[in-house]
Amino acid sequence: MIILGIDPGFERMGCAVLEKSPGGEKLIYSSCLISSRNDAHEKRLLVLAEGLKKIIKDFKPDIVAIEKLFFRQPITKNQHRMSVFGAVTLNFLKDFWRNLKDIGRPAGHRL
């Protein structure tokens, strides 16, 4: 089983891929995707999303774990991390809904 772990950050997004087998877990890849402070918000999200898509394509994870966000500051100071969390989550939900077409979608849901 291949597991992808994601620490969603706006400037740096941590990614690790592990292989779990009966003998235990083995780290097979880790990286820090970095977006430039000089780029616009949208470009930074795109850079992170494209890096994540490449990791998904290369390793084809069976399970994805995304770190839960905790805030000690007002939410306005964490908007960028929230947008990265949303983009990462959307990346997986889009595929989830697409895969449901073979077994039927829940009533009232559209792609």
Taking the domains of the chain in order of start, what are their residue ranges? 2-102
Summarize pLDDT for 42-68 with one digit per residue, the tens.
888 888 888 988 998 899 888 888 777
Nearest to 92 by CA among 72, 73, 58, 66: 66
Long-range contact pairs involving 20-29 (C-beta distance under 8 Å, separation at least 24) = 28/2, 28/59, 29/55, 29/58, 29/59
What's the per-residue H, E or C state across 25-47? EEEEEEEEEECCCCCCHHHHHHH
- Cβ atoms 67, 15 nearer than 8 A: no
Mean pLDDT, to the nearest integer, of 11-24? 92
How confident is the model at residue 16, as a pLDDT? 95
pLDDT at 48: 86
* Residue range 2-102 in CATH 3.30.420.10: yes
Do 4 and 56 touch, CB atoms closer than 8 A? yes
pTM of the model: 0.69
